[in-house]
């Protein structure tokens, strides 16, 4: 059994890890352990120091060393003697704010729990167990139900919390985190992923300082600027060695991850909806469901941790036809035409693409309403007949006749003031009466916290997808959200709107996923501004970044790879000089970098020379040959692009018989030795043969001595090596 309970000690065991907690003699739920299996009750690690100004609960009597302020707590309440970051805080009907959570009962069940209205890891009855631990604040009768999903084979634990108001007065929830994880003192560092538009998920590893550090978004989206996934690792932890814990929040709105190193050097990590744009009125009898967080840990470095996240996201988060299957190689017209195209132009691009073996034409922004610039048209989801004279059906028919699938861009959540929709329904736009709204890319957002708006969008999209042979949808969203106000809620509930917006978005995506199970939904938010495990539940791939520059992409894709599988990463070859940076990488480099993702093109192929076209068709063939390995193989980061002057990565098949190594060396240097690259994850005893040279190596040699990279010339020179077990 993955979960066992003995003397109020709860042990959650996966294949290689143990998560343990204990309800002690005062009913305080203490966190005991998250790490390698120990076959032991870890409560001997609990210590009771006599620390001044760390008070004791009344029921501890004269035990002055018993303090909530020093114990590792499983889910910290607030205002009741623990002065570290709370996991939950609320205001009672009388204005007081204390919440002293004590163990009440537990429930154990087969299978994995789901969460109403929110994405959650799914698993078969036999693949997972659910543990619920009920905590209660006795004075107010507010309950917190902690939910744990234990996916034994995947080495994953999920957590979530439900707040239930059994009291007679309403309470206001000020903060409900999904995760609270107290870990012992040590030389900890954390890795978070910061960035900006065109430069998402830059991995930054920092020591923990005393006090609080934070990775967060208040933008209404998970954001380009921070990502809702962080790692805690021992200072000595590397890709291959040492202990680390990873947590990824399944949520696409504003979030907060805070890590606190306390007075005793102990560490607390909390994560959940960002409290700055959240409050929730919970009437008597009502429940609030927090989003889910996915946890895994590894005592063999970050590579293994990443592989566990890749696996759980592919097999237990992404759903539908495309969760595990190969995706079509696509051509997208955005960087080829921007808003300036007509049917003829799109057919020319598609025609050339089909000759080169590309599977699908994606028509991006500009096909609808009066959308000739980004100042107008959003919300008017009917065809712009100046551009597409025979409508969508005419265009799609011609593209299908070329043997290609067709995909279409939408930005359903947004509205332009210059649009028919806005003229008819200005009250549906997110803005505060009496104030001028902030515009982002000239546009406003629609109020998805209003069920009427969600319904409207559902019917509009369902009609278009139902009437046309559309096999892919790019779901874009191009601004940060502020000016939170909704006419759909009374004044004292306005703080609920940002979360209700996300619930509305999820409901819309859920309904469309259900109605169109054959359609591949690709998420997008100005590239990777909403790249999170929540969106991956509805969209198995997400456009990774609007930056298509191959050099920059190696950094972005490096950071993305810590949590998210390669199959989730939309990645395209675009034209040079690159439109975002002006840099010119070779077609070979652009192809290799884009192959470390869900592969496609985003340029006018008609502008290429005959040799380049031949190279494109060879890339498509090569990618198809590797796709199974790229999607299902174990992914390894072989370098740190921030430190090593190159990016290198590899996939090793589960049976370790195939290895594909790719990478980019950033700067050319004269009179130099070739670089050596150490591979990992091979069978040390086996022999491997390099496909290009025919040379034979042992796995042990490749993992210790490494392999010599080919001679390379020029900046941003890519390499690729394919080896098979001899
Ligand atoms: C932002 C996306 O990330 C781009 O790929 C493109 O679809 C534009 N929006 C279109 O407006």
pLDDT single digits (tens) 71-109: 999 999 999 999 999 999 999 999 999 999 999 999 999
Ligand 1 atom with least separation from CA of 474: 7
Please state the rounded mean pLDDT for residues 135-143: 98
Kindly state the percentage of the chain with pLDDT values over 90. 99
Question: What does the DSSP assignment read for 396-412?
Answer: HHHHHHTT-EEEEEE-T
Residue nearest to ligand 1 atom 10, measured at CA: 365
> Does 395 have pLDDT greater than 80?
yes
Give the mean pLDDT of 455-479: 98
Mean pLDDT of the residues in the chain: 98
Query: What's the CA gap between 605 and 612, in Å, rounded?
Result: 9
Mutate which of 336, 341, 546, 597 for ligand 1? The one with the most ligand atoms within 8 Å of its CB, which is 546
Cα–Cα distance between 3 and 108 in angstroms, integer?
A: 8
Q: Where in the chain is the domain with CATH 3.20.20.70?
A: 330-632
**What are the residue ranges of CATH 2.60.40.1180 in the chain?**
641-725
Query: What distance in angstroms lies between residue 108's CA and the mean position of ligand 1's atoms?
Result: 46
Asked whether the predicted pLDDT for residue 535 surpasses 90, the reply is: yes
For residues 78 and 101, is the Cβ–Cβ distance under 8 A?
no
Is residue 1's pLDDT more than 80? Answer: no
Which pTM value belongs to this model? 0.98
- Who contacts 321 (Cβ-Cβ below 8 Å, separation ≥6)? 517, 518, 520
Residues 165-171 have a mean pLDDT of 97
Predicted pLDDT of residue 703: 98
Token couple for 486: 């909704």
Question: Quick check: CB of 364 below 6 Å from ligand 1?
Answer: yes
- Note the pLDDT of residue 310: 98
User: What residue ranges of the chain are covered by domains with CATH 2.70.98.60?
Assistant: 85-316
pLDDT band at 131 (very low <50, low <70, confident <90, very high): very high
Which DSSP symbol is given to 210?
A: B
Q: Mutate which of 224, 332, 333, 334 to test ligand 1's pocket (most atoms within 8 Å of Cβ)?
A: 334
Three-class SS state of 58 = helix
Q: Identify which of 364, 407, 545 to mutate to test ligand 1's pocket (most ligand atoms within 8 A of the CB).
A: 364
pLDDT of 61:
96
Assigned superfamily of 641-725: Golgi alpha-mannosidase II (2.60.40.1180)
Strand segments, DSSP code E, in 265-377 are 267-273, 280-282, 287-289, 293-298, 330-332, 360-363
Question: Kindly report the CA angle at 457 between 456 and 460, in degrees rounded to 5?
Answer: 90
478 lines ligand 1 (CB under 6 A): yes
Active site residues: 532, 612
Question: Under CATH, what is the fold of the domain 85-316?
Answer: Beta-galactosidase; Chain A, domain 5 (2.70.98)
Percentage with pLDDT > 70 across the chain = 100
Strand segments (E) across 557-620 = 569-574, 598-602
Nearest-atom number in ligand 1 for the CA of 409 is 7
Give residue 127's pLDDT: 97
| Beta bridge partners of residue 528, listed in sequence order | 525
- Using one digit for the tens of pLDDT, what is the confidence trace for 416-465? 999 999 999 999 999 999 999 999 999 999 999 999 999 999 999 999 99
Q: Which of 651, 652, 724 is nearest to 686 (CA)?
A: 724
Nearby residues of 89 by Cβ (< 8 Å), 6 or more positions away: 77, 78, 79, 97, 99, 173, 174, 175, 275
- Give 214's pLDDT tier (boundaries 50, 70, 90): very high
Model pLDDT, residue 492: 95
From the list 146, 192, 153, 168, the residue with the least C-alpha distance to 30 is 146
Which one, of 605, 629, 586, 615, lies nearest residue 719 by Cα? Answer: 586
Ligand 1 binding pocket includes 547 (Cβ within 6 Å) = no
Mean pLDDT of 690-705: 97
What long-range pairs does 48-51 form, CB within 8 A, spacing at least 24?
A: 49/264, 51/263, 51/264
Q: CA of 375: how far to CAs of 198, 378, 429, in Å?
A: 21, 9, 15
pLDDT band of 185, cuts 50, 70, 90: confident
Site of tokens 């395209």: 572
Atom of ligand 1 minimally distant from the CA of 374: 11
Q: Which two tokens stand for residue 72?
A: 């590792």
Please give the distance, rounded to the nearest whole angstrom, from the Cα atom of residue 475 to the centre of ligand 1: 9
Separation CA 477–CA 413 (nearest Å): 7
**DSSP H or E stretch at residue 444:** strand 443-445
Distance of CA 664 from the midpoint of ligand 1 (Å): 26
Beta bridge partners, 183, equal 267
Strands 244-249 and 293-298: antiparallel
Nearest to 15 by CA among 150, 111, 153: 153
Query: Are the C-beta atoms of residues 725 and 657 closer than 8 Å to each other?
Result: yes
Arithmetic mean of pLDDT, 535-561: 98
Q: With H, G, I as helix, E, B as strand and everything else as coil, classify residue 468.
A: coil
Structure tokens at 649: 């990565």
Q: How many CA atoms lie within 13 A of 444 on its CB side?
A: 26
Round to the nearest angstrom and report the end-to-end CA distance of the chain. Answer: 40
Cα separation of 281 and 496, whole Å? 8
Q: Are 677 and 723 in contact (CB under 8 A)?
A: no
Q: Report the alpha-carbon distance of residue 470 to residue 515 in Å, rounded.
A: 13
Residue 303's CB is within 10 A of a number of other CB atoms, namely 22
Find how far residue 37's CA is from the centre of its chain: 28
- Residue-wise pLDDT for 667-690, tens only, equals 999 999 999 999 999 999 999 999
Question: With a 6 A CB cut-off, is 546 part of the ligand 1 pocket?
Answer: yes
Q: Does domain 330-632 have CATH number 3.30.230.10?
A: no
Q: How far is CA 352 from the centre of its chain?
A: 34
Q: What's the pLDDT band for 138 if we cut at 50, 70, 90?
A: very high
């Amino acid at each position: 059994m993955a979960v066992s309970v003995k003397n109020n000690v709860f042990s959650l065991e996966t294949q290689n890890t143990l998560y343990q907690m204990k309800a002690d003699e005062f009913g305080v739920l203490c966190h005991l352990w998250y790490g390698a299996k120990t076959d032991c009750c870890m409560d001997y690690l609990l210590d009771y120091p006599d620390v001044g100004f760390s008070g004791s609960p009344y029921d501890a009597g004269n035990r002055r060393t018993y303090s909530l302020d020093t114990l590792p707590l499983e889910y910290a309440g607030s205002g009741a003697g623990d002065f570290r970051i709370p996991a939950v805080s609320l205001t009672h009907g009388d204005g007081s704010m204390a919440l002293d959570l004590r163990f009440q009962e537990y429930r154990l069940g087969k299978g994995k729990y789901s969460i109403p209205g929110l994405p959650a890891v799914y698993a078969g009855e036999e693949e997972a167990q659910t543990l619920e631990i009920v905590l209660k604040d006795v004075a107010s009768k507010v309950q917190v139900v902690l939910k744990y999903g234990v996916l034994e084979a995947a080495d994953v634990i999920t957590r979530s919390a439900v707040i239930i108001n059994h009291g007679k007065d309403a309470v206001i929830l000020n903060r409900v985190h999904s995760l609270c994880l107290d870990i012992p003192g040590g030389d900890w560092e954390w890795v978070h992923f910061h960035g900006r538009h065109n430069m998402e998920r830059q991995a930054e590893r920092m020591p923990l300082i005393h006090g609080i550090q934070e990775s967060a978004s208040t933008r209404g989206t998970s954001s380009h600027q921070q990502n809702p996934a962080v790692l805690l690792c021992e200072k000595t932890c590397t890709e291959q060695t040492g202990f680390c814990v990873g947590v990824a929040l399944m949520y696409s709105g504003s979030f907060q991850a805070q890590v606190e190193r306390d007075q005793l050097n102990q560490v607390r990590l909390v994560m959940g909806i960002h409290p700055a744009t959240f409050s929730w009125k919970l009437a008597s009898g009502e429940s609030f469901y927090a989003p889910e967080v996915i946890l895994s840990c590894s005592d063999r470095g970050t590579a293994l941790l990443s592989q566990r996240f890749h696996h759980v996201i592919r097999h237990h988060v992404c759903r539908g036809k495309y969760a595990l299957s190969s995706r079509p190689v696509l051509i997208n017209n955005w960087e080829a035409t921007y808003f300036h195209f007509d049917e003829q132009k799109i057919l020319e691009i598609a025609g050339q693409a089909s000759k080169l073996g590309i599977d699908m034409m994606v028509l991006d922004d500009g096909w609808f309403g009066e959308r000739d610039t980004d100042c107008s048209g959003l919300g008017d989801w009917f065809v712009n007949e100046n551009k597409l004279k025979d409508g969508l059906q005419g265009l799609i028919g011609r593209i299908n006749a070329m043997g290609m699938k067709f995909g279409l861009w939408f930005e359903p959540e947004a509205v332009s003031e210059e649009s028919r929709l806005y003229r008819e329904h200005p009250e549906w736009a997110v803005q505060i009466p009496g104030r001028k709204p902030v515009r982002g890319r000239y546009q406003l957002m629609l109020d998805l916290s209003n069920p009427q708006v969600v319904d409207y969008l559902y019917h509009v999209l369902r009609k278009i997808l139902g009437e046309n042979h559309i096999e892919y949808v790019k779901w874009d969203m191009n601004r940060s959200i502020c000016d939170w106000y909704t006419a759909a809620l009374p004044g004292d509930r306005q703080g609920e709107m940002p979360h209700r917006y996300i619930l509305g978005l999820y409901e819309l995506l859920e309904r469309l996923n259900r109605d169109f199970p054959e359609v591949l939904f690709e998420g997008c938010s100005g590239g990777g501004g909403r790249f999170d495990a929540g969106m991956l539940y509805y969209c198995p791939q997400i456009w990774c970044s609007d930056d298509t520059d191959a050099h920059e992409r190696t950094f972005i894709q490096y950071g993305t790879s810590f949590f998210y599988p390669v199959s989730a990463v939309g990645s395209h070859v675009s034209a040079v000089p690159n439109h975002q940076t002006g840099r010119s990488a070779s077609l070979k480099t652009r192809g290799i970098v884009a192959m470390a993702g869900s592969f496609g093109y985003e340029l006018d192929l008609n502008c290429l020379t005959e040799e380049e076209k031949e190279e494109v068709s060879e890339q498509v063939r090569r990618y198809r040959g590797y796709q199974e390995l790229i999607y299902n193989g174990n992914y390894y980061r072989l370098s740190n692009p921030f430190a090593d002057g190159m990016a290198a990565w590899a996939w090793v098949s589960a049976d370790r018989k195939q290895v594909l190594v790719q990478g980019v060396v950033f700067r050319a240097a004269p009179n130099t030795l070739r670089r050596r690259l150490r591979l990992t994850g091979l069978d040390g005893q086996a022999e491997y043969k390099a496909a290009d040279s025919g040379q034979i190596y042992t796995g042990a040699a490749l993992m210790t001595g490494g392999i010599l990279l080919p001679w390379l010339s020029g900046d941003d020179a890519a390499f690729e090596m394919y080896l098979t077990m001899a």
